[in-house]
Structure 1
Amino acid sequence: MAAAAATMTAFHSYSPQQQQQHQPPQSQQPTDPPQLSKKPKTILHKNPLYTPLPSKLSHQFKEKILCLELMGIDSGKALSSNPLIHSTPLTSIHTIITFLQSKGIYQKDLPRIIGMCPNILTSNITTDLIPVFNFLSKDLNIPDQDFRKVINKCPRLLVSSVKDQLKPALFYLKRLGFHDMGQLAYQDCVLLVSNVEKTLIPKLDYLISLGFSKPEAVEMVLRCPGLFTFSVDKNFKPKFEYFEREMKRDLNELKSFPQFFAFSLEKRIKARHLQALECGVEVSLPVLLKSTDEEFAELLRECD
């Protein structure tokens, strides 16, 4: 809170008159050629969004940009991603920042959090933000001092509807067997901002389509929750195709080691498989993929 207040104080104390006071005497200033405009004096003039506007509106808009930049926020990206910032009073933005800091969010966290979710700056504290923190506290049993850890892990929580997104996702995950609220909050909270109908269910269905029973597919995502975050087209399909056609492994190996899908296809899966194939070595998927480069090289040497 102190940092935000200092930023706002410094911002409000800045004025055109002070700028003039800090300019060198006229005799020391170089004379600009008549056809050239004067060199920009502040970060506001350099910002690509800066355009001459009616004096009052221009001053307010430039103040807003300066405030965001002083906090380390990319004002251009924020304004582009969330045009509502244009018409949002600076006092409202300050109030939201102060509220976030009252919940344990540090000043240094804001550039990343707001950079990922600029809509935070135009949210409503009462109807949007407070329900999220109540959800973390009551539904996930997160103590107040750990709010920062969870929000930094997944800033999208702050722009997710508790009623329409967070609670339905939590309900679905609990039905599947996710009962460790600590792990869900501190490690896998991105699942809570995943759409149940469009993201979670289709990925589970895809695993079932590979030949796993539903209980087997559920067990796989419980062992490796990251499966719910992988793209079907860009991750599952090419990796399973390589597993089936080139590696010719048994499906039970994937059931036992679903983390297979978390490794890079080109840099780890293919590379390690081809090395082992060349040496005539066949090892389990965990040994093939989880071993360090040194351990894997030693394994190949031992089998020569």
Structure 2
Amino acid sequence: MGIERSALGRILDMFPQLLTADPSNQIYPVFEFLLNNVEIPFSDIRKCIIRCPRLLVSGVENQLKPAFEFLMKLGFVGANRITCRTTVLLVSNVDHTLTPKIDFLMGLGFEYNEVAKMVIRSPVLLTFSIENNFRPKLEYFLEEMKGDLEELKRFPQYFSFNLEGKIKKRHQMLMQHRLSMPLSRMLKVSDGEFNARLIDMRLQLVEERQL
């Protein structure tokens, strides 16, 4: 598969059981599943394994196949199909990992199809912890930022940003100057661009007060 020696060493350090695994029964079936069922191009198989070595120790029938079927029902088909960038989702347990996250988002008041659109737009959402990521960021968004859930539908990537290092810091800077900004404009840019936007907004506010 063209995996470099250094990457192979890292993979074996993470999963030493691969050294004694039966290739015919444990490893080749994973490659066949990725190629034939998920339809990952052969040239991308190497990327899949390097990004998510756990694929090699995941059973096809009891893990990869159920996860793949769940994700397809969710909407990961056609233009949104699983690629080498999202095969990491295949190692998530349907009952203990994927379903609870969907249920958590639906518990906020979102419809199933709305949640599906959110995770398809930002697949990384399905890799986040409910307790360590979703819940604290949601609480800050609703309680401190007085946010509207509709904005999370438009910008689910909010959950992928660091709460302490970026979300709180930038929100507090805006609050100090009694300014507001859509989530995407507040978070997607670099610190330099954000500061430039903040200065522009402050200058505009001064000009409006002078009129």
Per the normalisation by structure 1, the TM-score is 0.64
Among residues 267, 271, 287, which one is paired with 2:185 in the alignment? 287
Equivalent AA in structure 2 for residue 200 of structure 1: L
Among residues 94, 117, 120, which one is paired with 1:219 in the alignment? 117
Structure-1 residue corresponding to 2:200: 302
Aligned ranges 1:1-304 → 2 under 5 Å? 103-180=1-78, 184-304=82-202
**In structure 1, how many angstroms separate the alpha carbons of the residues matched to 2:6 and 2:78?**
30
Seq. identity, %? 47
1:108 shift after superposition: 2.3
Equivalent AA in structure 2 for residue 144 of structure 1: F
Equivalent AA in structure 2 for residue 160 of structure 1: S
**In structure 2, how many angstroms separate the alpha carbons of the residues matched to 1:257 and 1:177?**
18
Deviation sequence 1:24-47 (CA, Å, 0-9, x none): xxxxxxxxxxxxxxxxxxxxxxxx
**In structure 1, how many angstroms separate the alpha carbons of the residues matched to 2:44 and 2:70?**
24
1:140 shift after superposition: 2.1
1:138 shift after superposition: 0.4
Equivalent AA in structure 1 for residue 68 of structure 2: L
1:179 shift after superposition: 1.0
Deviation sequence 1:237-292 (CA, Å, 0-9, x none): 11000001000011100111000000000011000000011112111000011121
1:116 shift after superposition: 2.0
Q: Relative to structure 1, is the Cα distance of residues 216 and 181 closer, same or farther in structure 2, using a 3 angstrom cutoff?
A: closer
Cα RMSD after superposing both structures: 1.4
Question: Quick check: 1:140–1:181 contact (8 Å CA) kept in 2?
Answer: no
Q: Relative to structure 1, is the Cα distance of residues 180 and 152 closer, same or farther in structure 2, using a 3 angstrom cutoff?
A: farther
Equivalent AA in structure 2 for residue 243 of structure 1: F
**In structure 2, how many angstroms separate the alpha carbons of the residues matched to 1:185 and 1:193?**
14
Provide structure 1 residue ranges, at least 5 long, that are not aligned to the other structure: 1-102
Task: State the 4+ residue runs in structure 1 displaced beyond 6 angstroms.
Answer: none
**In structure 1, how many angstroms separate the alpha carbons of the residues matched to 2:79 and 2:33?**
12
Q: Secondary structure at the match of 1:186?
A: coil
1:183 shift after superposition: 5.9
Which shifted more, 185-194 or 199-208?
185-194
Question: Quick check: 2:44–2:84 contact (8 Å CA) kept in 1?
Answer: no
Question: Quick check: 2:40–2:84 contact (8 Å CA) kept in 1?
Answer: no
Which shifted more, 193-202 or 291-300?
291-300
**In structure 2, how many angstroms separate the alpha carbons of the residues matched to 1:288 and 1:145?**
37
**In structure 1, how many angstroms separate the alpha carbons of the residues matched to 2:102 and 2:40?**
28
Q: Secondary structure at the match of 2:82?
A: helix
Question: Quick check: 1:194–1:200 contact (8 Å CA) kept in 2?
Answer: yes
Q: Relative to structure 1, is the Cα distance of residues 217 and 203 closer, same or farther in structure 2, using a 3 angstrom cutoff?
A: same
Aligned length: 202
1:198 shift after superposition: 0.5
1:173 shift after superposition: 0.4
Per the normalisation by structure 2, the TM-score is 0.91
**In structure 2, how many angstroms separate the alpha carbons of the residues matched to 1:258 and 1:144?**
31
Question: Quick check: 2:54–2:91 contact (8 Å CA) kept in 1?
Answer: yes
Provide structure 2 residue ranges, at least 5 long, that are not aligned to the other structure: 203-211
1:215 shift after superposition: 1.3
Q: Secondary structure at the match of 2:159?
A: helix
1:132 shift after superposition: 0.6
Equivalent AA in structure 1 for residue 24 of structure 2: T
Deviation sequence 1:99-138 (CA, Å, 0-9, x none): xxxx322222212111222221121111101101111110
